[in-house]
Structure 1
Amino acid sequence: MNPAEGRAAVAERRAAPAENRVEAPAERALAAAVRAARDASATAVTVAVLAGGRAEVHCFGRTGRGRAPACTPDTVFELGSVSKTFTALLLAAMAARGELALSEPLRGLLPADWPAPAVRSAEPIRLLHLATHTSGLPRLPPGLLASALPAWNSNPYAAFDEARLRAALAATTVRTEPGRHYRYSNYGVGLLGRALAERAGLPYGALLADRVLAPLGLTATTCAPDPPHRATGHRHGRPLPPWRIPALPAAGAVRSSGADLLRYLGAHLAPPAADAVLAAALADVRHPRLRLPGSADLLALVWTRRHAADRDVYFHSGGTRGCTSFVGFSPATASRAPVAVAALTNTGPSVNGRFVQAGYDLLRAWGGTC
């Protein structure tokens, strides 16, 4: 969830001719992910795969430099914008419980004494707009860049506290009609989380744990900045302090492990029958809401959906200054089994996006072999 982060550009790649294939596609994709991470000075890589009814968590390296512990399936990485998929599921779960509606205006869910963004249209900003990046809000809150500069290379959101968020709300004007145009917004999903927390009367992290993490058995997933078994983030080979995003945790504060992410993605593929609320929510987040501009891809609640090779693929990527993440899943078809992939590493996103692309290629490769 770097300040410059937008929707991940993940390209479709054609397979090499059969005579040039030295390795199985999945093995080649896994090797590419590890190379991309190590080339960016990562010390730890986790690749978790659910395919053909079998779960595998591949771990490489150590959680930090020197004598740091080995990376394991329980090693926790910062997820950055993959956090937004958790916020989308929380929104859908609260809607399924009847606590709110996706069509509710944001204004009625903010604290009464907080300012609200000025909207120059009769259509208000609704929760659905926030979860589909169509609110008209800018990518970042006004004033964030100024507060971020002193810690730009390590923790740019750390100084953006609640007081600065309130000032940003007072300075925000939405000039386009909400719901009309797609514009990726960390600010928007961060405000969505604040609205959900306000309705429930709980901090975002506690609310997420109560409604999503505990019901799904995600014991290592948290918004706490320094959880046990965490991988130390790195930027250009330099270790960084834990990522902090106090005012907008719903946009990028979640941490998780490879083992937990397999449970999380597995629930999207096979919702728990015993929990009707979560089952409904997990179905709702997959429902496409709009077509992304200049693309054949569709946007569901936060998730991008792409139709490729006769199957639907859902994916999202994320990054903090010190970690990069990719998650994706593809439901079963008549001829192929369901597949899910999570790729995590403890170095910040590269300009060329090689690790994220490798994560997407992993998803396609394993999907093709099911």
Structure 2
Amino acid sequence: MDEHLVPLLSAAPGATGVAVAARRRHEDTVLLSGTTARDGDPLTPTTRFEIGSLTKTFTALLLARMVAAGEVAHDDEVRRYLPGGALAAPITLDQLATHTSGLPRLPPGLLRTALPRWFSTPYAAFGPDDLLAALPRTRTRPGYRYSNYGVALLGFALARAAGVPYAELLADRVLRPLGLHDTDCTDTRQATGHWHGRPRPPWDIPGLPAAGALRSTARDLLRYLTALLDPDATPLAAALTDVARPRVVRPGTTDDVCLVWNRRARPGRTLLFHAGGTRGFTAFAGYSPDTGTALVALANSGPGLRDPFVQRSYEALRALATA
């Protein structure tokens, strides 16, 4: 297995540390390279990284868990859980989780507050009140459109349905039941992120936490993927199975969209995968239920247009699943 994983340790330009964890045929491997920062401590399996949009997969699992518990339904309209008049469009919870709500990638008004912090913490000045204020001004466009806004709104609605803040709700319904004790939305005990080799402050996303606020470790994320490989061994079996069910076909491809997860079926194997990034970190997670294979790759450098880390991580997952 190592021959597919070792190249990833040098595939993230500008990172001081990379953590890779994989499972194949019930064998787990964790490889670590570098330090938590320049002149920092050596990485460990419990070093925490910002995981950006991988957070969305956890929000999808929260939706599935609440559906399984009868608290919400997939076809509930999101406006049912919002203040009156906040959103006119009849968007369902499932549409938010499959990027078919028609919402734009970002809420109206966010770019204006983001620009002064664009290279550090662009979402920091956009809070929950700003998210609500953006809803009446939002125009939807039918069809598939990847939307941070949409999944953030999903998490906001689920929290209102439960009467509990998102981070607390996720910990209670998903993180603790799966034993993910080093995964949460706080910036404590995490590595230092880097952007083009320069240290970045911790990612702050108060208005859209369900789209990108989580921090996690190689060990926790591999445990998460192992649960997705073997749902019946967990207390979240129905929800873990539900998130992996194909919902729509992504336009222009033969790939499916599940609840947030991308699904690519090929002869002999099916891959489910997602990536995430913040200004200082890049993350990839994927698994193959047919072959019992899973891969996590984490780097403390933000993604660039030509950085190969995510693509090489996907290629390593595909290689492991066919080896």
TM-score tier by shorter-chain length is over 0.9
Residue 130 of structure 1 corresponds to 96
Q: Deviations over 1:193-222 (max 9, x none)?
A: 000000111111100000000000000000
Task: Note if 1:54 corresponds to 2:27.
Answer: yes
1:308: Cα distance to partner? 2.6
State the AA in 2 paired with 1:344: L
Q: 2:296 pairs with 332, 336, 342, which one?
A: 342
In terms of mean alpha carbon deviation, does 230-239 or 161-170 score higher?
161-170
1:352: Cα distance to partner? 1.7
Checking the alignment, whether the CA contact within 8 Å between 2:17 and 2:300 is kept in structure 1 is yes
Checking the alignment, whether the CA contact within 8 Å between 2:20 and 2:297 is kept in structure 1 is yes
* Secondary structure of 1:42 counterpart: coil
* Secondary structure of 2:41 counterpart: coil
State the AA in 2 paired with 1:342: V
In terms of mean alpha carbon deviation, does 76-85 or 103-112 score higher?
103-112
Distance 1:59 1:321 in 2: 21
1:27: Cα distance to partner? 4.2
Distance 2:2 2:276 in 1: 23
Structure 1 residues 258-337: aligned runs within 5 Å = 258-273=218-233, 275=235, 278-332=236-290, 337=291
Checking the alignment, whether the CA contact within 8 Å between 1:118 and 1:173 is kept in structure 2 is no
Distance 1:164 1:217 in 2: 33
Task: Note if 1:44 corresponds to 2:24.
Answer: no
Distance 2:277 2:176 in 1: 24
Q: 1:116 pairs with 50, 61, 86, which one?
A: 86
Relative distance call for 1:349 and 1:274 in structure 2 (3 A) is closer
Residue 97 of structure 1 corresponds to 69
Residue 362 of structure 1 corresponds to 316
Count of residues paired in the alignment: 323
RMSD: 1.3
User: TM-score under structure 1 normalisation?
Assistant: 0.85
Checking the alignment, whether the CA contact within 8 Å between 2:77 and 2:91 is kept in structure 1 is yes
Distance 2:121 2:301 in 1: 14
State the AA in 2 paired with 1:238: R
State the AA in 1 paired with 2:263: R
Structure index of larger Rg: 1
1:174: Cα distance to partner? 2.1
* Secondary structure of 2:177 counterpart: helix
State the AA in 2 paired with 1:349: P
1:310: Cα distance to partner? 1.6
Task: Note if 1:252 corresponds to 2:206.
Answer: no
Distance 2:194 2:307 in 1: 16
Distance 2:261 2:154 in 1: 15
Residue 167 of structure 1 corresponds to 133
Checking the alignment, whether the CA contact within 8 Å between 1:29 and 1:358 is kept in structure 2 is no
Q: Deviations over 1:291-345 (max 9, x none)?
A: 111101111100010013421100000100000000000013xxxx310000000
Distance 2:30 2:120 in 1: 29
State the AA in 2 paired with 1:346: N
* Secondary structure of 2:309 counterpart: helix
Structure 1 residues 191-210: aligned runs within 5 Å = 191-210=153-172
Residue 187 of structure 1 corresponds to 149
Residue 12 of structure 1 corresponds to none
Structure 1 residues 230-241: aligned runs within 5 Å = 230-241=190-201
Task: Note if 1:145 corresponds to 2:97.
Answer: no
Distance 2:193 2:219 in 1: 19
Distance 2:312 2:88 in 1: 41
Distance 1:91 1:175 in 2: 23
Structure 1 residues 65-76: aligned runs within 5 Å = 65-66=38-39, 68-76=40-48
1:350: Cα distance to partner? 1.9
Checking the alignment, whether the CA contact within 8 Å between 2:269 and 2:322 is kept in structure 1 is no
Relative distance call for 1:243 and 1:285 in structure 2 (3 A) is same
Distance 2:107 2:32 in 1: 37
Residue 242 of structure 1 corresponds to 202
Checking the alignment, whether the CA contact within 8 Å between 1:43 and 1:64 is kept in structure 2 is yes
State the AA in 2 paired with 1:359: S
Relative distance call for 1:274 and 1:182 in structure 2 (3 A) is closer
Checking the alignment, whether the CA contact within 8 Å between 1:74 and 1:257 is kept in structure 2 is yes
State the AA in 1 paired with 2:227: A
Distance 2:281 2:234 in 1: 35
